[in-house]
C-alpha cells in the first residue's frame, strides 16, 4: 500500500495527474484496504486466554502477539473494538 501511495504522490509531483485525480485514487485505495482488513479479521477482538499477550478475532484467528506485556494486548484489543 505504501508503494501505491508513493506512486500517486510521484505522479502528482510530476504533474502526470491532477490534484483531484490524486485525491480520488487515495480515497479508493483507503476504502479498498479498509474492506480487505474487515474481510480478513472479524470483530469483536479479544485477548487470548493462556498468556494474555495474543490478540484474536471472533473466529480465534491470531491478529498479533505482544512479547512484553499483557497490557499492550489489552489496549490494542480495545483500540480495534473502538472502545478508546
pLDDT of residue 36 exceeding 80: no
Q: How confident is the model at residue 46 (pLDDT cuts 50, 70, 90)?
A: very high
Q: What is the pTM of this model?
A: 0.51
- Give DSSP secondary structure letters for 10-70: HHHHTTSS-HHHHHHHHHHHHHHHHHHHHHHS-SPPEE-SSSS-EEE-TT--EEEE-SS-H
Distance CA 32, CA 30 (A): 6
Distance CA 6, CA 13 (A): 10
Q: What is the pLDDT, as a whole number, of residue 28?
A: 77
Record the cell numbers describing residue 81, joined without a space: 473494538
Distance CA 82, CA 67 (A): 23
For residues 14 and 28, the model is more confident at 14
Amino acid at each position: 500500500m505504501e508503494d501505491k501511495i508513493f506512486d500517486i504522490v510521484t505522479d502528482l509531483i510530476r504533474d502526470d495527474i491532477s490534484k483531484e485525480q490524486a485525491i480520488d485514487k487515495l480515497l479508493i485505495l483507503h476504502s479498498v484496504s479498509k474492506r480487505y482488513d474487515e474481510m480478513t479479521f472479524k470483530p469483536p477482538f479479544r485477548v487470548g486466554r493462556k498468556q494474555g499477550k495474543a490478540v484474536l478475532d471472533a473466529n480465534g484467528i491470531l491478529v498479533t502477539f505482544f512479547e512484553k506485556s499483557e497490557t499492550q494486548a489489552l489496549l490494542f484489543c480495545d483500540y480495534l473494538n473502538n472502545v478508546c
